[in-house]
């Protein structure tokens, strides 16, 4: 397949000024806690999305992707009308294909955050190519947002920080695409470091790098992509978010971050059963993230298996976002001797991760593949990911 530079060349007939890239991410633990102002522990992976960019002499922004044969162009002056609906309103204009709303939404949000006007900056050509599988729970969306934000910041000279870019990506996703997701994916993609995870407090947006030690200890992270597709802009994700808001409201707190494991008995007596179980997942998951950070630092990566498994069980039984394919993946990996395993990402499909001894990798993959075959599921796509660095200027 063509890379971003080649696509840029084909699009414009000249070489790009710059190429930036940002990775996908996997979440080690902390699921659906981000929009509840809680804790997450994701890491960037080696699969990256590249954005090649060059300025134009007019005020048009044109985006192209190896995903789609047709480039999309709009005048910079039109971006606010496309995406800038009422605050909080998810604007999915339909005027551009959904994929183009990611890079165009980033351009719109970057101008707004930098307090720049459309006539302060040059038009752009942006060509995008991605190695990150889409809809597999590895956040190809944050990767395209991050790569685009890095490229735009550079050629427009906006002076944005990584945290600014993360917020811009979230704004694009929430308001241009219309997916009500949190900020974890963007922070993780942009700020990743080699063999480390990013501990993010989603309330304060403070981050700490947490060494994983997987490489040192000879451990691999196996991703089991079930090929069951999810869509975050619709359905279950939104419903879970609403349940969390309801739970917080009925418990009299601004977000579930303010509820701790010790408060759960009271919560059970106040809330209906479903809302209680949604709340219980968030509250216990926050504690598991804190425990995972402490355990990694005190005992190392082999000691976190029980926390990963408890996280999966909580998502399966209390938050109810797993699917049979994900449960099968986790069970088969654990039976084959994985240190820990859990579904990762927003749920309703996507991928599971398993932490596996390097010398058990092949046997674990085989065990998972045969469990899927026995259950009559489509063969999963299995591959390893390596915790890697975040945003980079490539050229
Ligand atoms: P994921 O879990 O992969 O982030 P999302 O539904 O959040 O799944 O985002 C996937 C969407 O992001 C795609 O459907 C597409 O619209 C957009 N996208 C991701 N990567 C690219 C790319 N390289 N080119 C064009 N669009 C992309
Ligand atoms: Mg996404």
Vertex 21: Cα angle to 213 and 30 (nearest 5): 45
Whether the per-residue pLDDT at 93 is higher than 90: the answer is no
pLDDT of residue 234: 60
pLDDT category of residue 326 using cuts at 50, 70 and 90: very high
Whether the per-residue pLDDT at 180 is higher than 60: the answer is yes
ipTM value = 0.98
Q: What is the spatial distance between Cα 203 and Cα 187, in angstroms, rounded to a whole number? A: 13
Mean pLDDT, rounded, for 172-180 = 89
Mean pLDDT, rounded, for 87-114 = 83
pLDDT category of residue 345 using cuts at 50, 70 and 90: confident
Q: Do 131 and 138 touch, CB atoms closer than 8 A?
A: no
Among the bound ligands, name the one nearest to the CA of residue 45: 1
For the chain, what percent of residues have pLDDT higher than 70?
96
Q: Which atom of ligand 1 is nearest to the CA of 49?
A: 23
Q: How far is the CA of 299 from the centre of ligand 2 (A)?
A: 32
Of all protein residues, the one whose alpha carbon is nearest to atom 7 of ligand 1 is: 141
pLDDT of residue 231: 62
pLDDT category of residue 184 using cuts at 50, 70 and 90: very high
Pick the CATH number of 213-385 from 3.30.70.890, 3.20.20.80, 3.40.50.620, 1.20.140.10: 3.30.70.890
Whether the per-residue pLDDT at 60 is higher than 90: the answer is yes
Mean pLDDT, rounded, for 331-349 = 95
Q: What is the spatial distance between Cα 96 and Cα 77, in angstroms, rounded to a whole number? A: 15
Mean pLDDT, rounded, for 117-143 = 91
Whether the per-residue pLDDT at 314 is higher than 60: the answer is yes
Looking only at the bridges linking them, the beta strands covering 219-225 and 392-393 are: unpaired
Pick the CATH number of 4-208 from 3.40.50.1980, 3.30.230.10, 2.60.120.10, 3.40.50.1820: 3.30.230.10
Count other C-beta atoms under 10 Å from residue 135's C-beta.
Answer: 19
Whether the per-residue pLDDT at 219 is higher than 60: the answer is yes
**DSSP class of residue 261?**
G
- Residue among 104, 103, 114 at smallest CA distance from 82: 104
Among the bound ligands, name the one nearest to the CA of residue 52: 1
For the chain, what percent of residues have pLDDT higher than 90?
87
Q: Do 254 and 196 touch, CB atoms closer than 8 A?
A: no
CB under 8 Å to 75, separation ≥6 — which residues? Answer: 59, 60, 61, 118
- What is the DSSP code string of 128-140? EEE-SPTTSSS-H
Of all protein residues, the one whose alpha carbon is nearest to atom 9 of ligand 1 is: 141
Of all protein residues, the one whose alpha carbon is nearest to atom 20 of ligand 1 is: 140
Burial of residue 264 (CB within 10 Å: 0-12, 13-18, 19+) is middle
Ligand 1 shell residues, CB under 6 Å:
49, 65, 67, 98-99, 102, 128, 130, 134-135, 137-141, 144, 232
Mean pLDDT, the chain, rounded, equals 94
Q: Do 359 and 337 touch, CB atoms closer than 8 A?
A: no
Whether the per-residue pLDDT at 322 is higher than 90: the answer is yes
List residues with catalytic annotation. 185
Q: How far is the CA of 189 from the centre of ligand 1 (A)?
A: 14
pLDDT category of residue 385 using cuts at 50, 70 and 90: very high
CB under 8 Å to 305, separation ≥6 — which residues? Answer: 338, 339, 340, 355
Q: Give the torsion through C-alpha atoms of 159, 162, 168, 174, to 10 deg.
A: 180
Collapse the DSSP code of 282 into the 3-class scheme (helix H, G, I; strand E, B; otherwise coil) and give the result.
helix
- Looking at the DSSP bridge assignments, the partners of residue 60 are 75
pLDDT category of residue 246 using cuts at 50, 70 and 90: very high
pLDDT category of residue 138 using cuts at 50, 70 and 90: confident
Query: Domains of the chain: which residue ranges?
Result: 4-208, 213-385
Q: What is the spatial distance between Cα 222 and Cα 26, in angstroms, rounded to a whole number? A: 11
């Amino acid at each position: 397949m063509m890379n971003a530079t080649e696509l840029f060349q084909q699009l414009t007939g000249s070489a790009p000024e710059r190429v930036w890239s940002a990775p996908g991410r996997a979440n080690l633990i902390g699921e659906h806690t981000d929009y509840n102002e809680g804790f997450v522990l994701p890491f960037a992976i080696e699969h990256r999305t590249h954005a090649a960019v060059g300025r134009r002499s007019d005020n048009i922004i044109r985006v192209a992707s190896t995903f789609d044969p047709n480039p999309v162009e709009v005048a910079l002056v039109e971006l606010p009308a496309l995406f800038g609906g009422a605050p909080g309103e998810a604007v999915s204009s339909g005027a551009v294909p959904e994929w183009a709303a990611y890079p165009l939404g980033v351009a719109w949000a970057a101008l707004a955050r930098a307090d720049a006007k459309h006539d302060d900056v040059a038009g752009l050509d942006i060509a995008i190519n991605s190695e990150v599988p889409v809809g597999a729970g590895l956040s190809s969306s944050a990767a395209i947002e991050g790569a685009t934000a890095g490229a735009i910041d550079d050629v427009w000279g906006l002076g944005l920080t990584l945290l600014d870019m993360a917020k811009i990506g979230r704004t694009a996703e929430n308001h241009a695409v219309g997916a009500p997701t949190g900020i974890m994916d963007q922070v993780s993609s942009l700020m990743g470091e080699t063999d480390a995870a990013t501990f993010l407090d989603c309330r304060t947006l403070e981050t700490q790098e947490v060494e994983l030690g997987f490489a040192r200890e000879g451990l691999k992270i196996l991703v089991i992509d079930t090929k069951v597709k999810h869509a975050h802009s619709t359905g279950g994700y939104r419903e879970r978010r609403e349940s969390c808001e309801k739970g917080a409201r009925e418990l009299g707190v601004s977000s579930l971050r303010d509820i701790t494991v010790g408060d759960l008995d009271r919560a059970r007596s106040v809330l209906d059963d479903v809302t209680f179980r949604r709340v219980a997942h968030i509250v216990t998951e926050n504690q598991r993230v804190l425990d995972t950070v402490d355990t990694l630092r005190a005992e190392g990566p082999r000691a976190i298996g029980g926390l990963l498994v408890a996280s999966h069980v909580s998502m399966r039984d209390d938050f109810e976002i797993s699917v049979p394919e994900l449960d099968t993946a986790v069970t088969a990996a654990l039976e084959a001797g994985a240190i820990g395993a859990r579904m990762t990402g927003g749920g309703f499909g996507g991928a599971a991760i398993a932490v596996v001894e390097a010398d058990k990798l092949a046997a674990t993959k085989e065990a998972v593949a045969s469990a899927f075959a026995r259950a009559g599921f489509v063969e999963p796509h299995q591959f390893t990911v390596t915790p890697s660095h975040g945003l980079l200027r490539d050229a």
